[in-house]
Homo-oligomer: A and B are copies of this chain.
Amino acid sequence: MSGSQNTSMTIGSLAKAAEINVETIRYYQRLGLMTEPEKPLGGIRRYDEDALARLRFIRRARWLGFSLEEIGELLKLEDGTHCDEAKALGERKLGNVRDKIRSLQQIEGVLDQLVEECCTQKDNVTCPLIASLHEGFEAVTP
């Protein structure tokens, strides 16, 4: 919705915009995560905002520990897969994502407490990180 003029980039400017190596984009194309746009008669391919959004999504998802294969599945959800199939997949992925959130929140809690208490306590040499981990850490999936 917001104003964008530069629909249509070369792979180079796309790479710069997404902060991803050109070679990596080409690698993703080979894997089928990105589609190669048509090449105009021995010319140079052009990319649009969708390609950019997709790349950013991939980058973010990688950062969150999803494999390229899993990311492929996530992306299939927005490409016209058959609906019920997509729904099932989406639900699985959603569970996955929620597990990760829960795990991260546990780590967050522990870290937060750690930072709080860190310099307050003097006698307890071992910080309470692992101790806390013992308790709350059997619940979630990995």
Instruction: Give chain A's interface residues, CB within 8 Å of chain B.
Output: 1, 49-50, 53-54, 56-57, 59-66, 74-75, 77-80, 83-84, 86-87, 90-91, 93-94, 97-98, 100-101, 103-105, 107-108, 111-112, 114-115, 118-119, 125-130, 133-135, 137, 140, 142
Q: Shortest distance in angstroms between A93's beta carbon and chain B's nearest beta carbon? A: 6
Given contacts A56-B137, A130-B57, contact A142 B63 (CB under 8 A): yes
For A115, the chain B residues whose CB sits under 8 A away are: 87, 90-91, 94
Please list 23 pairs of residues, one from A and one from B, whose beta carbons are closer than 8 Å in the complex, sorted by A's number: A1-B134, A50-B130, A53-B130, A57-B133, A60-B140, A62-B65, A65-B65, A77-B111, A78-B128, A78-B130, A80-B127, A86-B114, A86-B118, A86-B127, A87-B115, A94-B108, A94-B111, A94-B115, A97-B104, A97-B107, A97-B111, A98-B108, A101-B105
Measured in the bound complex, the distance between the Cα atoms of B74 and A91 in whole Å is 31
| B residues less than 8 Å from A53 (CB atoms) | 130, 133-134, 137
A53 → B minimal CB distance (Å): 5
Cβ distance A86 to chain B, nearest Cβ, rounded Å? 6
